[in-house]
Amino acid sequence: MLNYKDKRGNLIILSGPSAVGKGTVLRALLKDYDDICYSVSATTRQPRQGELDGKDYFFMSLNKFKKLIKEDEFIEWAEVHNNYYGTPRSYVEETLATGKDVILEIDIQGAKQVKESFDEGIFVFLAPPSLEELKSRINKRGTETQEAINTRMKNATKEIEEINKYDYLIINDKVASAVDKLKSIIIAERCKL
Amino acid sequence: MLNYKDKRGNLIILSGPSAVGKGTVLRALLKDYDDICYSVSATTRQPRQGELDGKDYFFMSLNKFKKLIKEDEFIEWAEVHNNYYGTPRSYVEETLATGKDVILEIDIQGAKQVKESFDEGIFVFLAPPSLEELKSRINKRGTETQEAINTRMKNATKEIEEINKYDYLIINDKVASAVDKLKSIIIAERCKL
């Protein structure tokens, strides 16, 4: 009798510089492909209109968040503009144990933390076709001052040097093609021996 | 300026026990996906009706084949029922050098030879859902004596132990799903860093 082992799920980390389109690619993937769980982050910031607790974020008090940090309950966390954001370890662990894959969309600093605290992840770097294109995407958002744009570009240039620590590189030239590649990586990793 | 390196193509080796459906899966892949080159084998056997030289096989004399063996011009070769079959090294090398992927459909013994003579391949094992299912597929072909079937089953049981030397495992339960997985592996491997 053949005996193919039931596999533990994979943790996929989708990262890349700010404004490269991580959120857009992830949303398109989840629309098209439901065989993966999105890792919902915890945050101390207030819910925005339409945001649902447990779907968009796990909303929690600063006290609770700090308690969970102490208990090593986040595989990564960060403070951004006085709000805390983090990835709950228990949700990730429990989902992987059932054999389901989990996907995490996260900035480069967060991905670095995951690499340290959770060695088994599959790290996917989403990169812009060029730095010029990235700048134009940041400009299009129209929400930033020139100084903030310059800082973002400086960070991006530095962050792209992190590529060689990743397992896969996807150039986000077209969303549909990037989604197709991401989906292929998820399916291929499941066939890995 | 970002500088994404042009990559050499990948050599994909699709292997698995006899009657598992390698040919069917490969034909369905090539119909659906033209971004890969099929590695045409050389053979000393006579062309069958409809077979084209350079498309189905490179047909050649025994003398020429033996000369090419001596010159290490095959990454694998075998003698089957008094005919010789082999994979020309020059075709594979030249195609990979242009950045194109090459796929090779081959039995387990041939894959072993490729592993020894061509270390960079990506090895995909196509496996039956169960040995019972494999037996039923061999029976359906209706071209074999009971003794031949028994030999095939014995070989298959032994060959499946080779799985752990492969990079990927695809269970061929449905052709469409197997093709989808194979395609995903090819696309994902191109994104590898």
Can you give B8-68 as a three-state secondary structure string?
Answer: CCCEEEEECCCCCCHHHHHHHHHHHCCCEEECCEEECCCCCCCCCECCCEEECCHHHHHHH
* Contact by Cβ (8 Å): A98, A7: no
Contact status of A153 with chain B (Cβ, < 8 Å)? no
Q: Is B16 annotated as a binding residue?
A: yes
Report d(CA A114, CA A55) in Å as an integer: 21
CA dist., res. A102 & res. A66, Å (int): 24
Q: How far is B180 from chain A (nearest CA, A)?
A: 9
Of all helices (H) and strands (E), which one includes residue B76? strand B74-80
CA B67 to chain centre: 23
Write out the two tokens for B192: 């590898």
Which of B181, B184, B186, B190 should one mutate to test binding to chain A, selecting the residue with the greatest count of A CBs within 10 A? B184
Number of Cβ within a 10 Å radius of residue B48: 8
Tens of each residue's pLDDT in chain A, 193 residues: 466 667 899 999 999 998 899 999 999 999 989 899 999 999 999 999 999 999 889 999 999 999 999 999 999 999 988 999 999 999 999 999 999 999 999 999 999 999 998 878 999 999 998 888 888 887 877 777 888 888 888 888 888 888 889 999 999 999 999 999 999 999 999 999 9
What confidence score (pLDDT) does residue A125 get?
A: 96
Q: Is B23 annotated as ligand-binding? A: yes
Q: Which residues 6+ apart lie within 8 Å of B103 measured at CB? A: B11, B12, B13, B14, B26, B29, B30, B36, B37, B38, B39, B186
What pLDDT is stored for residue B1 in this prediction? Answer: 45
Residue type, A34: D
Note the helical H segments in chain A.
Answer: 22-32, 62-70, 89-97, 108-117, 131-141, 146-159, 175-191
Measure CB to CB from residue A192 to each of B4, B168, B171 and give the nearest one.
B168
The reply to whether A4 touches chain B by the CB within 8 Å rule is yes
Residue among A125, A180, A193 minimizing CB distance to B164? A193
The helix/strand/coil state of A185 is helix
Among residues A161, A153, A163, A158, which one has the least CA distance to residue A126? A163
Nearest to B188 among A128, A163, A188 (CB): A188
User: Is B5 in the A-facing interface, judged by CB distances under 8 Å?
Assistant: no
Which amino acid is located at A162 in the chain? E
For residues A88 and A75, what is the distance between their CA atoms, to the nearest angstrom? 6
ipTM associated with this complex: 0.88
What pLDDT score does A1 carry?
Answer: 45
B170 inside 8 A of chain A by CB: yes
Integer Rg of chain A from CA: 17
Decide: residue A12, CB within 10 A, 0-12 exposed, 13-18 middle, 19+ buried.
buried
- Choices 3.40.50.300, 3.20.20.140, 3.30.465.10, 3.40.190.10: CATH for B11-191: 3.40.50.300
> Which of B4, B185, B193 comes nearest A167 by C-beta?
B193
Mean per-residue pLDDT pooled into runs of 10, chain B (193 residues) = 74 93 95 91 94 93 97 94 93 93 94 89 93 81 80 83 92 96 97 93
pLDDT of residue B140: 79
A164–B130 C-beta distance less than 8 A = no
Instruction: Report the pLDDT value the prediction gives residue A2, as an integer from 0 to 100.
Output: 62
In degrees and rounded to multiples of 5, residue B108 shows phi and psi of -60, -40
Q: Is B127 annotated as a binding residue?
A: no
Percent of chain A with pLDDT over 90: 68
Residue contact A127–B2, C-beta within 8 A: yes
Pairwise CA distance, residues B189 & B12, whole Å: 10
Q: Which H/E stretch holds residue A102?
A: strand A101-105
Chain segment A101-134, per-residue pLDDT in tens: 999 999 999 999 999 988 789 999 999 988 888 8
